[in-house]
Amino acid sequence: MSVPAIILRRLYVKKSLKNNETGFQFSLKNVLADASLSKPLEITIDDKPVPLDKITLESDSKTILNKDISDTNPVDFALNTLVTIRIEGIRLEPGEHKIVISAVSKEYGPIKFDIKDVVS
């Protein structure tokens, strides 16, 4: 079952893109349905791929290194869960940026969507 990108964009928390002390971050909130990720997130920013080992997922309950997500170590993304995606070692210039997020959900298969947000 393929989920259309227009629906997946609802996961992105608007105006959450910002630089932090070690790179940049943005947030996703699951407003759709319970899911679990079975492969690491693949993220590109302004058409440049982000190395998998530079991505960390943080929620209220835990911090997960993106590279550790697998079929045998899936990550639950329950309904109404807020996750902050932190990218280490990359700072963004002020202005608009395009982010493409690809993942694999056990329940929904491959998912992919893009968003644009602004760093002020």
Domain spans of the chain?
5-119
State which CATH number among 2.60.40, 2.40.160, 3.90.1010, 3.10.620 fits the domain covering 5-119.
2.60.40
What's 51's DSSP letter? Answer: P
pLDDT tens digit at each of 120 positions of the chain: 678 999 999 999 999 999 999 999 999 999 999 999 999 999 999 999 999 999 999 998 799 999 999 999 999 999 999 999 999 999 999 999 999 999 999 999 999 999 999 998
Residues 95-112, buried b or exposed e (16+ Cβ, 10 A)? eebebbbebbbeebeebe
Task: Give the C-alpha separation, 58 to 42, whole Å.
Answer: 16
Task: Give the C-alpha separation, 78 to 12, whole Å.
Answer: 15
pTM for this prediction: 0.94
